[in-house]
């Protein structure tokens, strides 16, 4: 199940994922309907104007599995759920509008859908907070982001608590309080929030908001990486490479950068490419370096695009490919790599 699906069903009453179908009200697997029966049941409930059922049916069409994947239909169902007052339906609609899935991309309408979600379900306010924090679909305002994160956190959304703490840590949108931020990161980490464990690890590594504790920082970053927060893997790799808080192991660092890259982290892919290029923590391999720079580029890394373009242009790690080089340099330029812009002229 994707992050989107988890967000949509995370606070919905008892459900099971059976055969890829989202099933409502099942007390145990033996009593659960088949995937086809579950989808039919959700369809009937949606026709009776039950917003929650429409949102869950939208997840099924978004994900595929029990039904054929159909983003156009998923978006329409999210719209229907949102119009019926289901907050998670509004979140799903906003995500699809933001990404241009199942129809035109419209950041402003996506942001409006997130705002509607927050109005009907405080636990979803984190997404509109993020829109204000990042300036998605409208102006950037960290102070407003804080307000929405606070509302989400107060309603029990752990993501909201962590994002609020991150603004406190950075002093964005209000006063800076690294002591309070560190305590919040540690509290959310105890509740198994991967990003919180990573940010707590960074605070302990750097001694912000309290004493420096490199060994404990490693432990927290291990937890973060294991939980799937890719920046935690990258930061943990640096500690293994430098021997901070424990033994030095370049091969272990390389493996952690591989994991970060596999999680879609542009920085992790770029550093992995350098490992292969320079023979750091393992064998040298120019073809593997080229491929990893390409993955960094796909993940939105400007520097990775530039390096991938250079290797394609020069025939390093593979055949010369002028077309691929031009595309990579263009993407690097679009992402803000000024030097790469010269290669596009």
Look at residue 96 and tell me if it is in a domain. Answer: yes
Q: How far is CA 7 from CA 59, 275, 315, in A?
A: 10, 35, 44
2-41 pLDDT, tens digit per residue, is: 333 334 434 333 233 333 334 444 445 456 678 888 899 9
By the 8 A CB rule, do 136 and 148 touch? Answer: no
According to the model, what pLDDT value does residue 14 have? 29
Residue with tokens 């927050």: 118
Q: Domain of residue 91: give its range.
A: 1-120
Look at residue 17 and tell me if it is in a domain. Answer: yes
Radius of gyration of the chain (CA): 23
267 φ/ψ angles, rounded to the nearest 5 degrees = -65, -40
Domain count, the chain: 1
Q: What is the pTM of this model?
A: 0.86
User: Which regions in the chain score pLDDT beneath 70?
Assistant: 1-32
Look at residue 84 and tell me if it is in a domain. Answer: yes
- Both structure tokens of 90: 């509004």
Look at residue 152 and tell me if it is in a domain. Answer: no
Look at residue 85 and tell me if it is in a domain. Answer: yes
According to the model, what pLDDT value does residue 2 have? 38
Look at residue 115 and tell me if it is in a domain. Answer: yes
Look at residue 317 and tell me if it is in a domain. Answer: no
Look at residue 344 and tell me if it is in a domain. Answer: no
Whichever domain contains 86, its CATH number is 1.25.40.10
According to the model, what pLDDT value does residue 30 have? 55
């Amino acid at each position: 199940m994707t992050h989107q699906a988890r967000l949509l069903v995370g606070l919905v009453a008892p459900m099971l994922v059976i055969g890829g179908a989202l099933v409502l009200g099942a007390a145990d697997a033996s009593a659960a309907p088949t995937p086809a029966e579950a989808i039919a049941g959700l369809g009937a409930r949606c026709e009776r104007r039950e917003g929650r059922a429409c949102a869950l049916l939208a997840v099924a069409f978004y994900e595929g599995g029990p039904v054929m994947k159909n983003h156009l239909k998923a978006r329409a169902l999210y719209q229907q759920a949102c119009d019926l007052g289901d907050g998670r339906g509004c979140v799903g609609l906003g995500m699809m509008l933001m990404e241009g899935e199942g129809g035109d991309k419209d950041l402003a309408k996506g942001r409006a859908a997130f705002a509607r979600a927050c109005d009907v379900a405080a636990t979803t306010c984190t997404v509109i907070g993020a829109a204000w924090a990042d300036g998605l679909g409208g102006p950037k305002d960290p102070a407003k982001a804080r307000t929405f994160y606070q509302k989400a956190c107060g309603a029990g959304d752990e993501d909201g608590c962590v994002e609020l703490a991150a603004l406190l840590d950075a002093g964005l949108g209000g006063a800076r309080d690294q002591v309070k931020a560190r305590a919040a990161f540690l509290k959310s980490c105890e509740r198994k929030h991967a990003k919180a464990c990573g940010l707590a690890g960074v605070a302990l590594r750097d001694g912000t908001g309290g004493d420096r504790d490199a060994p404990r920082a490693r432990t927290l970053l291990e937890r973060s990486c294991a939980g799937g927060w890719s920046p935690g893997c990258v930061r943990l790799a640096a500690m293994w490479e430098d021997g901070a808080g424990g033994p030095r192991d370049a091969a272990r660092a390389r493996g952690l950068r591989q994991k970060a890259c596999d999680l879609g982290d542009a920085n992790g892919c770029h550093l992995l490419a350098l490992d292969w290029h320079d023979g750091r923590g393992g064998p040298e391999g120019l073809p593997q370096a080229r491929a990893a720079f390409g993955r960094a580029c796909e993940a939105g890394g400007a520097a990775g695009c530039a390096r991938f373009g250079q290797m394609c242009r020069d025939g390093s790690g593979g055949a010369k490919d002028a077309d691929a080089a031009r595309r990579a340099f263009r993407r690097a330029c679009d992402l803000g790599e000024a030097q790469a812009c010269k290669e596009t002229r």
